[in-house]
Amino acid sequence: MSFSPSFDHLVSALTCLPGVGAKSAQRMALQLLLHKQDKAHQLAQAIEQALHTATRCRVCRNLSDEEVCLICANEQRDTGTLCVVEAPDDVLAIEQSTDYRGQYFVLMGHISPLDGIGPEALGLDTLDKRLAEGGVNELVLATNSTMEGETTAYFLGELAAKHGVEATRLASGVPMGGELSYIDRGTLSLAFNARQRYQSE
């Protein structure tokens, strides 16, 4: 039995967040409504603003408030090294855990034939054009160590070879089936710095 439909609606909305179950959502909702109303207003405003301002960078496809994101617009970044990741949280993991100073290309997913997701859905045509323009010397394949991630890495390796660009893959330390955003900083830093030349054959 419900004592407040609006409370139930808030709880239901909070459960859409990763790792948040019904009990956790209930605790969050009670905190926001009873003890942190000012924070609740700030949260609501921040979500509303992000929904209206966040877009996709036309260069790397990552989230951005502008047409070109802050990383792509940073002239101090190495434009000769391009790291391909599956999602924005992978960019955050690499930025927080390594000294990588190149640029990124965010696929927003991975190749999954069973789900009807092919190379065209991941913006690989855009990546193809970028590599064709020249200037990229190394393509870092930082897709997850899953079956889908390895399949995606294979396509990326083929694309790099087509343009004569060296492809490298993260080295030991990233377990099979692991996702970058869940790997500890030390392990990810070691894997990134010890990346190896990628062979798609």
Query: What's the whole-number mean pLDDT along residues 185-197?
Result: 69
Distance between CA atoms of residues 66 and 93, nearest Å: 22
Residues 6+ apart with CB under 8 A from 13: none
Distance between CA atoms of residues 103 and 80, nearest Å: 8
Q: Considering the domain 5-53 in this protein, what is its CATH number?
A: 1.10.8.420
Contact 61, 105 (CB under 8 A): yes
- Residue whose C-alpha is closest to residue 179's, from 63, 21, 18, 54: 18
Residue 71 pLDDT class (50, 70, 90 cuts): very high
pLDDT of residue 52: 86
User: Is the pTM here over 0.85, yes or no?
Assistant: no
Query: What's the whole-number mean pLDDT along residues 152-171?
Result: 91
DSSP state of 81: E
pLDDT over 90 for what percent of the chain? 45
Please determine, for residue 29, whether its predicted confidence score (pLDDT) is greater than 80. Answer: yes
| CATH 1.10.8.420 placement within the chain | 5-53
Residue 108: strand, helix, or coil: coil
Query: What's the whole-number mean pLDDT along residues 2-27?
Result: 85
Please determine, for residue 173, whether its predicted confidence score (pLDDT) is greater than 90. Answer: no
Q: Is 49 exposed, middle or buried (0-12, 13-18, 19+ CB in 10 A)?
A: exposed
pLDDT of residue 5: 84
End-to-end CA distance of the chain: 60
| CATH 3.40.1360.10 placement within the chain | 63-197
Residue 64 pLDDT class (50, 70, 90 cuts): very high
Phi then psi for 129, rounded to 5 degrees?
Answer: -65, -40
Please determine, for residue 91, whether its predicted confidence score (pLDDT) is greater than 70. Answer: yes
- Fold for domain 63-197? Dna Topoisomerase Vi A Subunit; Chain: A, domain 2 (3.40.1360)
